[in-house]
Amino acid sequence: MPKITYKDFQGGSKTIEVENGLSVMEGAIQNDITGIDADCGGSMACATCHVYVEENWFSKLPKAEDAEVDMIDMAFEPKKNSRLSCQIIINDELDGLVVTTPEKQT
């Protein structure tokens, strides 16, 4: 199973194995990773699963849809490497992905 690393804004880090087909958000929720709220449950209707994707991984992800980018406008402190973790679906190619959660989601 692909390994995903979740870092927090204070430098803490947790690496877990997430099943293919799940989203980076689901991986976090199922493994009690703090820093991802996912209020809307993954329907791209809120921006509380916002993460910063490590630069070298960002370009490897499928491009965000317009709706996702619009939603990121509403996130807490969006940056160039911002994504909604509910929209990143895990597959073998993402083994080793590193994301950082923002200081807060709301």
Partner 1 sequence: MKKTDAIIIGAGPVGLFAVHQLGIKGLKAVVIDNLDKAGGQCIELYPDKPIYDIPAVPECTGEQLTTRLLDQIKPFKTELFLNERVDEVRQDKENWVVKTNNKKEFSAPNIIIAGGVGSFEPRKISLKDAEKLEDKSVFYAVKNKEQFKNKKISIFGGGDSALDWALELSKFSKITLIHRRNEFRGAQHTLSEIKKLEKDGKVSIKTPCQIVSLDDVNELKSITIKFDDGKTEKISTDVILGFFGLIMKLGPIAEWGLNMDKKTIEVNSKNFETNKKGIFAAGDICSYPGKLKLILSGFHEVALASVECFKRARPNEKYRFEFTTSSKTIQNRLGKK
Q: Which residues bind partner 1 (CB under 8 A)?
A: 37, 39-41, 45-48, 66, 69-70, 73-74, 76-78, 80, 106
Distance in Å, CB of 50 to partner 1, minimum: 11
Edge-first strand listing for the sheet containing 50-53 = 13-17, 3-7, 98-100, 50-53, 82-84
Measured CA distances, 22 to 85, 89, 91 (Å): 10, 6, 8
DSSP state of 28: H
- Of the two residues 80 and 92, which places its CB atom closer to partner 1 in the complex? 80
- Of the two residues 17 and 70, which places its CB atom closer to partner 1 in the complex? 70
- Of the two residues 41 and 96, which places its CB atom closer to partner 1 in the complex? 41
